[in-house]
Every structure is written in C-alpha cells, then in structure tokens.
Amino acid sequence: MKRLFDLCLSGLGLVLSAPVWLLVALAIRLEDGGPVFFTQPRVGRGGRPFTAYKFRSMFVAASVEPARQVVANDQRITRVGRLLRAMALDELPQLWNIFIGDMSFVGPRPLAVGEIEARGDGRFVRLEEIPGYVARHAVRPGLTGLAQVYARRDLPRPQKFRFDALYCRRAGFWLDVRLIALSFWISARGRWEHPGPKV
C-alpha cells in the first residue's frame, strides 16, 4: 500500500509542480549560469546506491568536495539556494526518485555515499562508523521523516539515527500522512533551515 501511495502522490506532484520547476530552473541559471540540477549517489534501502536528483543550491565548485552536512551560514550555498533550501524546493526533483521507487515520501533521509560528519573538535567521521547507520536502511529513504521534521539541524548523527530507528519500528500509513502534512507546513513557512524547532 505504501508503494502505491508513493506512486500516485509523486505522479500527481510531478504534474502539479511543473510550473515551479520552470521558475526554479530560471532562477538558478540567472544567478550564476551553472547547471540547474545536481545529482549525487545516495544510499537506499538495503544499502544499495541510487542516483538522487536535486535542484542545485550550492556553487558548482562545492560538488567536488567530500559530502558533508550543511552548517549555519554555509558559504557553499548560493543566494537562490538559500531560498530553495528554506522551503525544500531543492528537493522537488526527488519526486522522480519516489516515482521510480528509489525513495518513499517518508523515511530516513537518503545519505550520500561516503558522507562524513564534522565534529565540534575538528574531526571528520564517516557516517558508516556511527551506530545505527545500517539499521536505518531497512526501509526506503524518504523525502521527509521523523528526523527531518523533529530533529534540530545541528543534532549529532547518532541522535538523528535514533529518530530513524524509531520510524523503522513505528512506520505506518497515518504516521506518514502526519509527517507529510507537517512537512508542507514547514515548507510553507520556510523553516527547513531553521536551527531550532521547525514545527
């Protein structure tokens, strides 16, 4: 049932959001003339890699750096990118990932292959080394999820992975509907990049 829900909702979303895609693409091209889309290998269900699609929100040079989470006032993000990320419009192309079955609307955030986390002491840690990393791949990664909605942006990954583990245990239709509704509310208010509570 979840796959049918994802298929129908992503198909509808692709059709209804088409005008927004054109506006976003135009804004990205006008800002720096670089490519509109950004693709990146991500880790999917069962640890299998897939190609995730996004609207580019960072300067082109940032795509050659090792994958690491965005921090407050990150200099890699463009002006247009800041607006896109605040409203999660950079994620719109992932509707295609949902439609073809790489992702779901709700699940743990799809992590980049080889992604690292910068620790406060200056160390870099590969996400694969953090407890809970493997368990979170029991379900398809999601456009939104418990950690995306409820966790603070700067929360360390071990704690975010606990949200993912909770979702894997409690996944169900009504939880998904609630998280999708909350995600629309966060997007409408432009609070995805807010450092504190989003809801």
Amino acid making up residue 155: L
Tell me, what's the pLDDT at 199?
85
Q: Which amino acid, residue 180?
A: I
pTM (predicted TM-score):
0.90
Q: What is the pLDDT of residues 108-167, one digit of tens each?
A: 999 999 888 877 777 888 899 999 999 999 999 999 999 999 999 888 899 999 999 999
What is the rounded average pLDDT of the residues 6-35?
96
* Average pLDDT of the residues in 12-22: 97
Minimal CA–CA distance to 185: which of 160, 148, 154? Answer: 148
For the chain, the domains span 2-189
The span from the CA of 130 to the CA of 120, in Å, is 16
Query: For residue range 175-187, what is the model confidence (pLDDT) as tens digits?
Result: 999 999 999 999 9
3-state secondary structure of 112: strand
Q: What is the pLDDT of residue 88?
A: 95
Give the number of C-alpha atoms closer than 13 A to the C-alpha of residue 179, restricted to the C-beta side. 24
Over the stretch 50-64, which tens digit does the pLDDT of each residue have? 999 999 998 887 665
Stretch 16-45: mean pLDDT, rounded?
96
Cα separation, 124 vs 105, in Å, equals 30
CB-CB contact of 167 with 141 (8 Å):
no
Least confident of 15-24, 60-69, 163-172: 60-69
* CA 153 vs CA 19, 23, 67, 81, 188: distances in Å: 30, 27, 16, 17, 18
Question: What is the structure's pLDDT at 80?
Answer: 94
Query: Which pLDDT belongs to residue 71?
Result: 60
